[in-house]
Amino acid sequence: MERAPDAVTFLELHAAHLRRVNERSAGIARALEQAASDDPVVASLWEWMNHNRAYAVGWAATTLLAKPGRRKGLRRRDVEATFWVALDWGTYRTLTGEAGLTADEFERWLRGYYRSTLIPT
């Protein structure tokens, strides 16, 4: 993703990556979040997972803002907010569970979400 030549390519790769990550971890994240209040070991793991997610949001924002082809005038804060929604396990669970999207459709939705918020129209 870091070597992607432009913002569009970066975001397409990022969407595909998040789909794979969420397919494996969204359910685990729910279980850990629920158990964290009852078990200090699980709470520590949950804290570590969220620390990693915060790092990933910052990394994605920095990487995108360095790419050509992104929407001009983007504020880092807004880019990070976009990535927080994208990296939230609940977003994946809601869209694939409640909204009935398949993993393919989630990835397609995420690409559209990125285009509408981060790429010039």
Domain boundaries, the chain: 7-118
- pLDDT band of residue 64 (cuts 50, 70, 90) is very high
**Averaged pLDDT, 90-114:** 97
Give the Å distances, CA to CA, from 76 to 26, 61, 80: 26, 7, 6
> Is the pLDDT reported for residue 121 higher than 90?
no
Give the Å distances, CA to CA, from 2 to 31, 62, 66, 117: 32, 10, 10, 20
pLDDT, one tens digit per residue, over 67-87 is 999 999 999 999 999 999 999
Q: Which pLDDT score is estimated for 1?
A: 96
- pLDDT band of residue 119 (cuts 50, 70, 90) is very high
- pLDDT band of residue 35 (cuts 50, 70, 90) is very high
SS3 of residue 26 by DSSP = helix
**Averaged pLDDT, 99-107:** 98
Task: Return the residue matching tokens 């990933």.
Answer: 56
